[in-house]
Amino acid sequence: MSECKKCRSLFLEYFYGELDSPKKKFFDDHILVCKKCNSQFEEMEAVLQFTGKRVRPEPPEEFWDSYEKKLDRRIEIENEKPERRFKVIPKWAYQAAAAVALIVIGVFIGRALFSPPIPGVQHASRQPGLATQLQPETILVHRSQDYIERTKLILLALVNFDPSIEDPYALDLPYQKQISRELVEEASFLKKELAESDQERLENLVTSLEIILLQIANLESENDLEAIEIVKEGIDRRGILMEINLTDLRLSMKKGERSMSPEQPSRKPKTI
């Protein structure tokens, strides 16, 4: 290190009186002979001396007299505060909870879609003449389920269609469009009946399906990949397939309850 560099690195320690004797002697000797370092030090010294003129406003004595009292009060208030009921939950806990929730939903949906049909329900539907005994509301629900199932097939065909690896004509769009048109027409009647029988959730689902089906019916050609992507995004954004699965699940659970309730013997032990 050159002497000038070494000297400049000691400016602050020199000004604040933090140099030991050998370094102070070196500094004094160098400053005497080096005009450049001397002038630089004087410049820095001038700023430090000028800023040293600052007078910090001192609070009045009363401020200091009441300081401990104020602090005491703050500590008291702090101690009086009830403990936080909700502690900060770490991020991993949310992630774990989300994973568990997804597994539970997956199991429910899986059981609803792929489990063997409940024997009671199958048996009832096979019985001749039983359909005629069904209530009009049940018939409407069955029709809606059938409608939803047919729509689901159309939607799945579109959602699973990947133009990057499949031939656009494999989608058979004219056929899909024709079916979609038929389903749109059917939707208007079905919605009306559902509204009359107070099936609001089913009505909402049929309305959402009608919008998507209308978009499919209006697709121009297989090569209009952009429009197909928009429809796919619409299905995804509205969570249509999820809603269909949940409705299926809900309806099959209702069916299960209904078929079990009349014949099922009470599990409670009879009291004498």
Partner 1 sequence: MTQNDQILIDRICSGDQAAFYDLVGRYKKKIYHLAYDITGDHHEAEDISQEVFMKAFRALKTFRRDAKMSSWLHQITVNASIDSLRRKSVRHAKSTGELDNVSIQENLVASSTHGFDPVQSTESAQIQNRISQALKKISPKERTVFVMCHYNGLKLNETAEILNVTIGTVKSLLFRAIRKLRKELSPFMNKYPMEIPHE
Kindly indicate which of the ranges 50-58, 124-132, 160-168, 223-231 contains the residues binding partner 1, using the contact rule CB under 8 A. 50-58
Give least dist CB 252 to partner 1, A: 55
Query: Residue 57 carries which DSSP code?
Result: P
Of 52 and 128, CB closest to partner 1: 52
Of 79 and 271, CB closest to partner 1: 79
In the list 3, 4, 9, 130, the residue contacting partner 1 (rule: CB under 8 A) is 9
C-alpha 10/C-alpha 23 separation (Å) is 8
Write phi, then psi, for 17 (nearest 5 degrees). 65, 40
C-alpha 241/C-alpha 213 separation (Å) is 13
End-to-end C-alpha distance for the chain, whole angstroms: 106
In the list 53, 84, 85, 267, the residue contacting partner 1 (rule: CB under 8 A) is 53
Alpha-helix runs per DSSP H in 160-239:
173-196, 200-217, 225-238
Kindly indicate which of the ranges 42-50, 116-124, 151-159, 194-202 contains the residues binding partner 1, using the contact rule CB under 8 A. 42-50
Of 51 and 164, CB closest to partner 1: 51
Give least dist CB 28 to partner 1, A: 18
Give least dist CB 59 to partner 1, A: 7
Of 15 and 108, CB closest to partner 1: 15
C-alpha 97/C-alpha 42 separation (Å) is 66
Of 49 and 218, CB closest to partner 1: 49
As to burial, measured by CB atoms within 10 angstroms (0-12 exposed, 13-18 middle, 19+ buried), residue 95 is: exposed
In the list 4, 32, 46, 153, the residue contacting partner 1 (rule: CB under 8 A) is 46
Give least dist CB 153 to partner 1, A: 55
Give least dist CB 52 to partner 1, A: 7
Residue 175 CB: number of other CB atoms within 10 A? 11
Residues in 54-83 at the binding interface with partner 1, rule: CB under 8 A: 54-59, 63-64, 67-68, 70-71, 74-75, 78
Q: Which long-range contacts does 179-182 make (Cβ < 8 Å, 24+ apart)?
A: 179/150, 179/154, 180/154, 180/213, 180/214, 180/216, 180/217, 181/213, 181/217
C-alpha 239/C-alpha 247 separation (Å) is 12
Number of residues that bind partner 1 (CB under 8 A): 30
Instruction: Write out the residues near partner 1 by the rule CB under 8 A.
Output: 9, 12-13, 16, 18, 43-44, 46-59, 63-64, 67-68, 70-71, 74-75, 78
